[in-house]
Structure 1
Amino acid sequence: MLSRKYRLAAVAIAAMLTAGCGSELDGAAQPAEIDVRTLDVGKYSTDPLEVRYTYAPDLSNRTQLSMMRLAGNIAVGPEIDPRFTYSATPIPVPYAHTASRVLTPDAAAALDRNGLLFGYAARVSDKSFEKSGNPSTGSTFIDLTVMQFPDEETAARSAAETDAIDFAVAADANQPVILSKYPGAHSHWRPGIATIGSTLAHGKYVVHLFIGVAEPQLDQLTALAEQVYAVQLPLLDTLPPLSREDMLRLPYDPDGMLRRTLNPNGLGAPNVTSQAVFGLRGFLHQSTDQGYWNRTMNDAGVDRYSISDYTRLFRARDDGSARKLADVALELSFPGAAAVPGGVPGSSCGEKTNSAGYSVKRFRCVLVYRQYVATVESDQLADAHQQAAAQYALLANSTW
């Protein structure tokens, strides 16, 4: 046992060390880290999201979380074939009527009648998409939609009805097509037109394909449809379907990504397009150049990605991988030079040129904190600097 004198000395030394190095609470600096309380964060909060927002499961929230989960098991272009390097904006399907964006409009009634729970549509091509989102002339493209239904019976009925409705749009010209490797798929094409539609029930899931090639060659269309099914169906086998009760029990932010993502308004309701967490596939569906970002993210070991409006957060393999990812985060869309925010270690900023990327914001800043890489965007560079400072401070304040 230590004497009282030595116990008091130990307490005094511990107190001095704490005062010198700070604690992880309230943004105090750790050894070799800055004191984030000195950063110019402007109006932005540096508190983790749960301090300002409490998640409450409801019908809308459960559907948004279900679509995020599904997006992680929908094939991306390079998985199907390395030539499919480009992507268009994915289309979430929270309700039957929203499916009209990817299916024949009249199919919505059939989906609703069969109790569609949710869906998600991804689009890839061997050429970059037009600004309108349409495939480029002469491209080979794939529209891949996956939907989940309450049971296998409603899924099978929906697949058959969806194809029949689409076939009837041009019943005098369309012809049925049999896929030799997937005879249960409902498929058709119009001779002379370089596209094919195919719908297949797979357990409680329905997979719908709309595929186009450069020339109206049926053998190319059927081979590509079978190739997509060969990649997509095993991914669904690893994703247990959800009941309505399961959907309500989905975790909101199990990896703590959203709590670390700058959220100026403190509004945390899940939204698959603006307040969401994904794995790598979910990020790639939202990337216009999947080939480039697939290589880049795999090199960095990125396994989680979150988005809150214009803020993005990536979790890399380790600190070194995060720094390498940050080095290339501006190259494609923000190649113009821009001043860096003062006091934010290892940060960089870029300006969007007229021809670069699809972002509507002018400036982007990138920062690294341990294994996390974040990007913030604004039309005003000073505002982007304050966001970057706030995001860095938030990451430091979210280590507990």
Structure 2
Amino acid sequence: MNRRESTTMRRATRIGAALAGALMIAACGSPTEQATPTAEQQPAPAPAQIVSPDKLDVGGYPTTPRPALGVAGNAPAGIVAETQHMADFIVGPWDVDPDMVYPYLSSTYLITAPAALEQIGPATVAVAAEQRGMVGGFVSARQAPDKSILVNGVLRFPDPAAATAAAGEMSQAAAQQSIQGVTPTSTAIPGHADAVASTYPFTPHGTERPWAAVRSFTPRGPFVLMQMAQSIDVLDPAAAMVAKAIDLQGPLIDQFTPTPIDALADVALDPTGLLVRTIPAEAGTAPASKNAAYSPRGAVHFQSNPVGSATLFEDAGVTVVAMGEANVYEAKDAPSASLVANSFGKEVSVDGVSAADPVPALPGSRCLQFPKGFYCVASGDRYAIEVQADQLKDAHQQVAAQYVMLTAH
């Protein structure tokens, strides 16, 4: 895959999900679908001069930055912020196998409480994690359809002793869970004697071809590296995926400095300063991944094609991505921000998508209509903006307000 191919593969699945209230879903397309002529043949927008705020309809959306967010203020809020920051230090399945870019289940999980582990494993695993005082974690999941699946994550515990105990107990809990009438058995992970793992065969619903699955838990300092890998037909590829994930994940999580548990209330909520300049998602209803700022590495976990996104972010010099009601990508300069916005617009121009009116009075903006909702992108100064909404006017107003907030202050 060359660079041009990889950056044009990314957003069809993501936008379908955004319009449904989550970031990732497979229903609207795949990374390899071709663009429809109607949307794709639009001329690529060029960077525009800054537009005066009085020319734009911002509706009821805010146009001025919020006051500095400061610190979490309490431990639960600190845990949410800490797990958001952990995304920057998590290996994506595509790092193990570049074919694994397709969504799997919810694709990303911010584990802000042990019970959240029930989304990706037996409830008994969540109970074992809770008993050892699990603090939080981040999990990333993808698949290569009809070939392999990898769920990779890191969970934090109070100290190395708790993590070591939790790894063994979580693995034991997983191994006691019968899968399609089969009890998992212990297995070894090549090159990782410290990994506690089990395996079981299963046949996905609607198919007759068997798969092999591996669940693995490896203590590393105060963390547990957690993987669930599945491969078609035989066990060895699944075990090899786990081994490579551990090889990559261990050194990466070593770079993360966890906040002391008694200081979680002091976790900074907006260390880059971009989040206060991003229209916030509604508190209490937004997913835990929202109202957060990520490094490019962390942000790619939320992209439909993380391989292409990583290339695009590198080319554009993206340094931070803020995710709120709108998403804002800070690039190295105005032309680079325009590159990001243009690439996003092209990548969602797939079958079933048609061109919609651009944001009024905002040259360079682009909007698209999906079966359920609208998607718009624009750039202003060194920032790229993307939004989604059920109604086109609402999408226009979100972009306009976000544009004003970024360029008028």
In which range does the TM-score fall when normalised by the shorter chain? Answer: 0.7 to 0.9
**Could you tell me which amino acid in structure 1 is paired with residue 198 of structure 2?**
H
Task: Note the C-alpha offset of 1:241.
Answer: 2.7
SS of the counterpart of 1:251? coil
CA distance in 2, matches of 1:244, 1:253: 19
Q: Distance in 1 between matches of 2:101 and 2:148?
A: 11
Q: Aligned to 1:141, which of 142, 149, 152?
A: 149
Confirm or deny: 8 A CA contact 1:67 1:272 kept in the other structure.
no
Q: Report 1:351-362 matches (<5 A).
A: 351-352=369-370, 354=371, 362=373
Give the 5 Å matches for 1:1-400. Answer: 33-50=50-67, 57-88=73-104, 89=106, 90-127=108-145, 138-170=146-178, 173-190=183-200, 193-215=211-233, 217-263=234-280, 272-309=288-325, 311-333=326-348, 335-352=353-370, 354=371, 362-398=373-409
Q: In the TM superposition, what whole-angstrom CA distance separates every residue of 1:196-217 from its partner, at most 9, and x where no partner exists?
A: 11110011000111100111x2
Contact 2:327 2:386 (C-alpha < 8 Å) held by counterparts? yes
Change (3 A) 1:318 1:390: same
**Secondary structure in 1 matching 2:303:** coil
Q: 1:87 to 1:169 in 2, by over 3 A?
A: same
Q: Give 1:281 shift.
A: 2.6
Alpha carbons 2:280, 2:324 under 8 Å: kept = yes
Tell me if structure 1 keeps the 8 A contact 2:211–2:231.
no
Partners of 1:85 and 1:102 in 2: CA distance? 18
1:387 Cα shift?
Answer: 1.8
CA–CA distance in 2 between the matches of 1:264 and 1:176?
A: 44
**AA of the residue aligned to 1:337:** A
CA contact (8 A) 1:315 1:373 kept: yes
Q: Determine the C-alpha separation between the residues in 2 that align with 1:154 and 1:101.
A: 22
Q: Deviations over 1:16-58 (max 9, x none)?
A: xxxxxxxxxxxxxxxx63321332212222111228x776511
**TM-superposition CA deviations, 1:70-128 (whole Å, max 9, x none):** 1111112332222222234311211111111122211222111111100111101123x
1:115-157 CA-to-partner distances (Å, cap 9, x unmatched) read 1100111101123xxxxxxxxxx23010112100010000000
Q: Distance in 1 between matches of 2:389 and 2:177?
A: 45
1:249–1:271 Cα change, 3 Å: farther
Q: Give the partner amino acid of 1:39.
A: L
Report if aligned partners of 1:77, 1:86 keep a CA contact under 8 Å in 2: no
Distance 1:264 1:204 in 2: 32
Residue type of the partner of 2:167? A
- Deviations along 1:275-297, one digit per CA (max 9) or x if unpaired, are 11111232221122223322222
Number of matched residues?
A: 347
Question: What is the letter of the counterpart of residue 72 of structure 1?
Answer: D
What are the ranges of 5 or more consecutive residues in structure 1 without an aligned counterpart?
1-31, 128-137, 355-360
Question: What residue identity is the alignment partner of 1:231?
Answer: L
In structure 2, C-alpha distance between the alignment counterparts of 1:38 and 1:190, rounded to whole Å: 62
Structure 1 distance, partners of 2:253, 2:274, is: 25
How has the CA–CA distance of structure 1 residues 237 and 105 changed in structure 2, closer, same or farther, with 3 Å as cutoff?
A: same
The gaps in structure 2 that reach 5 residues or longer are 1-48, 202-209
Pick closer, same or farther for the CA change 1:218–1:263 going to 2, 3 Å.
closer
Q: Distance in 2 between matches of 1:187 and 1:223?
A: 12
What is the identity percentage for the equivalent residue pairs of Structure 1 and Structure 2?
24
Residue 225 of structure 1 deviates from its aligned partner by: 1.1
Contact 1:48 1:397 in 2 (8 A): no
Match of 1:20 in 2: none
Instruction: Give the alignment's Cα RMSD to 1 decimal.
Output: 2.4
Q: TM-score, normalised by structure 2?
A: 0.79
Shift of 1:344: 1.7
Aligned residue for 1:134? none
Q: Who is 2:30 aligned against?
A: none
Once the 2 structures are TM-superposed, how far is the Cα of residue 271 of structure 1 from its aligned partner?
Answer: 6.0
Change (3 A) 1:54 1:45: farther
3-state SS, counterpart of residue 197 of structure 1: strand
Counterpart residue type for residue 188 of structure 1: S
SS across alignment from 1:213: strand
Q: TM-score, normalised by structure 1?
A: 0.80
Alpha carbons of structure 1 residues 198 and 54: separation in structure 2 relative to 1, 3 Å: closer
- Residue 162 of structure 1 and its aligned partner are, at CA, apart by 0.4
The answer for the alignment partner of 1:3 in structure 2 is none
Counterpart code for 2:348: S
- Please give the alpha-carbon distance, in whole angstroms, between the structure 2 residues aligned to 1:117 and 1:56: 15
Which structure is larger by alpha-carbon Rg, 1 or 2? 1
AA aligned to 1:158 is: A
